[in-house]
Structure 1
Amino acid sequence: MTRKRLLAAIAATASAAGLFGAVVTAEAAAPSLTATFAQSSAWDSGYGGKYTLTNAGDANSTQWTIEFDLPEGTAIATSWSSVLTRSGQHYKVTNAAFNGTIKPGATASFGFNTTGLGLPTGCTVNGSPCGGGVPTITTPPSPTSASTSPTTTTSVPSGDVVDVGTAAELQAALAAAIPGRTIRLAAGTYRGSFVATKPGTADAPITVTGPSTAILINDGPSGEAPSCPAPTAGWDSGYGFWLYGAPYWHLQGFTVQEAKKGIVADNSHHTVIEGVRVHRIDEEAVHFRRSSADSVIRDSTISHTGLVQAGYGEGVYLGSANSNWACHGNSGGVDRSDRIQVLNNHIGPYVAAEGIDVKEGTEGGVIRGNTFDGQGISGQNSADSWIDVKGFGYVIEGNTGTFVSPGTFANGYETHNPATTPSFPNGCGNVWRDNKSDLGGVGQYAIKITSTSKCSERPNVVYASNTVSRAVNGLTNVPVTP
């Protein structure tokens, strides 16, 4: 029996007993949590799992505990967004500091990776079955008179610094952004679609900044997608943060997670991404495309990508494959996301595709001072290196790369030479120096140059300052420059 029907029955009983002067009071507000499990990815020896908690009640839930069992032979190897303890095959998971409060109608989630393929059983949330149960009817000490709730709206923010604390406030701030403004995120979870379409300027960029505990989540995609990605009424891209035609934006400090793609810059040159964390992403973490040239990503952390499409789970994606230029090429048909700098980032583990994928048609970038952890690279869609360079004239220096199993690993750095029209020296004219590579006894070369003949006029250069350890074959397959 539902709560409304039970209250109606109580009222009818009171009336029948002649208690006409009695007042049937409304029940006290209370949370009502359920939890559902889903696999986000799977491989031969394990899987990625996710529990989503939903509050179907009418009051905030301020904390939660989920318990479940895993069969023998299956164990949780890593987990996130939670505090996990284990007793034998029984697991107890409590909320992290940032996701304990779940508002009515809202959700929270946590995830984990396993060794073994057994699925959880016997799930409870706060002691009740995860699928929900009969609600408890309670009454407050005295009734309150009914009143009509006022309609709430989110005002358009103003000022040089705009502080936001909810998803609606952030969306309003993005829509009202002007050059020179800073949008400052409070700690907390922001769930929704966050799209920026207003340009900043060189002298007055627009900044979005917040602590790492300010977490952007997009549960999309939803609606009917246009033929080429563009902000469209009724369609949610599923991107965690999307810059579209919005040059001169600075994104600082916050976290993007649980999205189709992490941060996407389309036709948004001079984008600066600094100190962000992007993880638990279905596809790629950060993508500069549609000629988002002269941009920078630095001092950021990227992990656990490609949860749905492993072969498309790049850490940082520069430009677009020529097969996508019809959508993403706006400079003579080519996606000229040129002169992008990737500096001092930590990329991996469990970045399912390349740590950095440098696409054909781009040139002149700098990849410096990054740390690559190749554990968990999938090998799908030829994803088997830290960096795959199909662009021209890149400087790749001072990076440190390691690989340990599990994963599929061929070489540390690779070049490829896709043919395009118009002709472009794809995969040529790049320089490697001062990189340190540990190939884990699995990788063939630290730097594998696919073709020298295709780059005879603009050869790739590998300097002797590069070092390698635990390689099957050695430093490189081409002559080394002193």
Structure 2
Amino acid sequence: MTRKRLLAAIAATASAAGLFGAVVTAEAAAPSLTATFAQSSAWDSGYGGKYTLTNAGDANSTQWTIEFDLPEGTSITSSWSSVLTRTGRHYKVTNAGFNGTVKPGGTASFGFNTKGLGLPTGCTVNGRPCGGGGETPSTTTTPPPTTTTSKPPTTTTSVPAGDVVDVSTAAELRAALAAASPGQTIRLAAGTYRGSFVATKPGTAGAPITVTGPSTAVLVNDGPSGEAPSCPAPTAGWDSGYGFWLYGAPYWHLKGFTVQESKKGIVADDSHHTVIEAVRVHRIDEEAVHFRRSSADSVIRDSTISHTGLVQAGYGEGVYLGSASSNWACHGNSGGADRSDRIQVLDNHIGPYVAAEAIDVKEGTVDGVIRGNTFDGQGVSGQNSADSWVDVKGSGYVIEGNTGTFASPGTFANGYETHNPATTPSFPNGCGNVWRDNKSDLGGVGQYAIKITSTSKCSDRPNVVHASNTVSRAVSGLTNIPVTP
């Protein structure tokens, strides 16, 4: 019997049994994504928007791209849980690393805030209309208009100083930061807050602004996105990728919460008298905490830092004080230097897997205190000369009562090092620092607990290593200079 006759016979038999309708051609399992838009809040000059993707197919969707247009006069100012790019009025949004896979019957979402009240049009997901059904993108699909005109349910600048503002969503946190006033406390509920969180309102010496929450209140920034300015500054359409950013915001107190999965952890720019207390910063692409642009007289204490430099190991410092002189054109605002002076780093646990130095003290900074910290050097990368717990290029620092250990893997040269970069205008870089009462275990790998690179460059203001420092498992010993009783 020929194949054609065999198939005909099978069809006839199936028809006679009433089963012909059950004979179908199997199709490969495939995802089927749709996306819906909704406003999460609205105010006089903008709104918070959210897209929710749903997979109605029978296979995982492993990545997604949503595109849409916004009318003239409306633009996105911040976004989260996505990577956003813009060309004119057209926006292209792709998944972040954590939400690209959408299981059958599952959902994923991302959000954004706008300046202007125009709604998205022409939405497509992976090249098909967001509502499903077509093969080609629609250019006329418009989401249903919203009728809400009320302000978002967060505090405004009219809230009296000293009030406690409770927040539980990313949108509420952004609104509270924008409306913050001296003496106010912003209190985070447990949960994950995704997006860009920038504080630009100053507190005062007598009435600092506080952001506090439990360690289970977790800030995540999936940026950066958009076009960056030549020097970092809060800019419409650009997300820095920083987990929490103080910009021109002195006298803030950050306490208790966690920052993770961000380009940088906590950054203080031109924000003197910042206090960071009992925070956890980990799983960070670059550095964990950076005091920058003359954020002087600040403190970080009782905090835990680990797993930094996940993308750029050579820039994965635990705590970064000041800026390299090559960056003073952006970050120097006092005599040409970044004068992030008199910063105290107290009683923190830094490491393991901090890919660069636990603390990097940059040239041009003076008179800080590094006391009572625990350094775990496991995982230091050796990239960009990162091969010690602390690298001191500043001057006049007191480094005392710290405990440092090293165990493989990692590239480890010395426990503490000094360097003396030349700068213009001239500063006595890497000089006049004092070490006492530090305990160092070099793991049988490190040369010296305290390595002083040059004595001649500091002849007028020598570095001092006291005999109260101790070392174990050192290849060469405590220090390469004479010890002071």
Q: TM-score under structure 1 normalisation?
A: 0.71
Q: Secondary structure at the match of 1:29?
A: coil
User: Conserved in 2, the CA contact under 8 Å of 1:444 and 1:474?
Assistant: yes
1:170-199 deviations in Å (ceiling 9; x for gaps): 000000000000000000000000000000
User: Conserved in 1, the CA contact under 8 Å of 2:85 and 2:225?
Assistant: no
1:420-472 deviations in Å (ceiling 9; x for gaps): 01111100000000000000000000000000000000000000000000000
The offset of 1:102, in angstroms, is 11
The offset of 1:165, in angstroms, is 0.3
- 1:91–1:371: structure 2 CA closer, same or farther, 3 Å change rule? farther
Q: Secondary structure at the match of 2:20?
A: coil
Gaps of 5+ in 2: none
1:318-360 deviations in Å (ceiling 9; x for gaps): 0000000000000010100000000000000000000000000
The offset of 1:48, in angstroms, is 34
- 1:51–1:445: structure 2 CA closer, same or farther, 3 Å change rule? farther
- 1:87–1:219: structure 2 CA closer, same or farther, 3 Å change rule? closer
User: Conserved in 2, the CA contact under 8 Å of 1:26 and 1:140?
Assistant: no
1:90-139 deviations in Å (ceiling 9; x for gaps): 99999999999999999999999999999999999999999999999x99
Q: Secondary structure at the match of 1:21?
A: helix
1:139-196 deviations in Å (ceiling 9; x for gaps): 9999999999999999999871000000000000000000000000000000000000
Query: How far apart, in 2, do the equivalents of 1:466 and 1:207 lie?
Result: 37
Per mean C-alpha deviation after superposition, the further-off stretch among 97-106 and 287-296 is 97-106
Per mean C-alpha deviation after superposition, the further-off stretch among 468-477 and 64-73 is 64-73
Structure number with greater Rg is 2
Query: How far apart, in 1, do the equivalents of 2:48 and 2:383 lie?
Result: 17
Answer yes or no: is 1:417 the counterpart of 2:388: no
The offset of 1:80, in angstroms, is 21
- 1:141–1:169: structure 2 CA closer, same or farther, 3 Å change rule? closer
Query: How far apart, in 2, do the equivalents of 1:379 and 1:46 lie?
Result: 47
- 1:281–1:157: structure 2 CA closer, same or farther, 3 Å change rule? farther
- 1:405–1:205: structure 2 CA closer, same or farther, 3 Å change rule? same
The offset of 1:227, in angstroms, is 0.4
User: Conserved in 2, the CA contact under 8 Å of 1:338 and 1:363?
Assistant: yes
Q: Secondary structure at the match of 1:113?
A: strand
Mapping of 1:304-453 within 5 angstroms?
Answer: 304-453=307-456
User: Conserved in 2, the CA contact under 8 Å of 1:360 and 1:426?
Assistant: yes
Task: Tell me the number of residue pairs that the alignment of Structure 1 and Structure 2 aligns.
Answer: 481
Query: How far apart, in 1, do the equivalents of 2:149 and 2:20 lie?
Result: 20
Per mean C-alpha deviation after superposition, the further-off stretch among 28-37 and 389-398 is 28-37
- 1:69–1:459: structure 2 CA closer, same or farther, 3 Å change rule? farther
Per mean C-alpha deviation after superposition, the further-off stretch among 197-206 and 73-82 is 73-82
Per mean C-alpha deviation after superposition, the further-off stretch among 71-80 and 213-222 is 71-80
Q: Secondary structure at the match of 2:261?
A: strand
Q: Secondary structure at the match of 2:366?
A: coil
User: Conserved in 1, the CA contact under 8 Å of 2:398 and 2:435?
Assistant: yes
User: Conserved in 2, the CA contact under 8 Å of 1:258 and 1:280?
Assistant: yes
Query: How far apart, in 2, do the equivalents of 1:370 and 1:415 lie?
Result: 18
Mapping of 1:256-271 within 5 angstroms?
Answer: 256-271=259-274
Query: How far apart, in 2, do the equivalents of 1:43 and 1:233 lie?
Result: 18
Query: How far apart, in 2, do the equivalents of 1:444 and 1:321 lie?
Result: 26
- 1:261–1:78: structure 2 CA closer, same or farther, 3 Å change rule? closer
Per mean C-alpha deviation after superposition, the further-off stretch among 469-478 and 98-107 is 98-107
Query: How far apart, in 2, do the equivalents of 1:176 and 1:84 lie?
Result: 26
Per mean C-alpha deviation after superposition, the further-off stretch among 105-114 and 358-367 is 105-114
- 1:227–1:344: structure 2 CA closer, same or farther, 3 Å change rule? same
The offset of 1:9, in angstroms, is 30
Q: Secondary structure at the match of 2:53?
A: strand
User: Conserved in 2, the CA contact under 8 Å of 1:243 and 1:264?
Assistant: yes
Query: How far apart, in 2, do the equivalents of 1:227 and 1:83 lie?
Result: 20
User: Conserved in 2, the CA contact under 8 Å of 1:414 and 1:448?
Assistant: yes
Query: How far apart, in 2, do the equivalents of 1:416 and 1:198 lie?
Result: 36
The offset of 1:212, in angstroms, is 0.4
Per mean C-alpha deviation after superposition, the further-off stretch among 19-28 and 346-355 is 19-28
User: Conserved in 1, the CA contact under 8 Å of 2:189 and 2:214?
Assistant: yes
User: Conserved in 2, the CA contact under 8 Å of 1:40 and 1:307?
Assistant: no
- 1:432–1:63: structure 2 CA closer, same or farther, 3 Å change rule? same
- 1:59–1:360: structure 2 CA closer, same or farther, 3 Å change rule? same
Task: Give 4+ residue runs of structure 1 displaced > 6 Å after superposition.
Answer: 1-136, 138-159
Alignment RMSD: 15.6
Query: How far apart, in 2, do the equivalents of 1:64 and 1:428 lie?
Result: 54
- Matching residue of 2:61: 61
- 1:360–1:75: structure 2 CA closer, same or farther, 3 Å change rule? same
Q: Secondary structure at the match of 1:189?
A: strand
- 1:436–1:64: structure 2 CA closer, same or farther, 3 Å change rule? farther
- 1:91–1:148: structure 2 CA closer, same or farther, 3 Å change rule? closer
User: Conserved in 2, the CA contact under 8 Å of 1:338 and 1:364?
Assistant: yes
- 1:192–1:159: structure 2 CA closer, same or farther, 3 Å change rule? same
Gaps of 5+ in 1: none
Per mean C-alpha deviation after superposition, the further-off stretch among 32-41 and 363-372 is 32-41
User: Conserved in 2, the CA contact under 8 Å of 1:434 and 1:467?
Assistant: yes
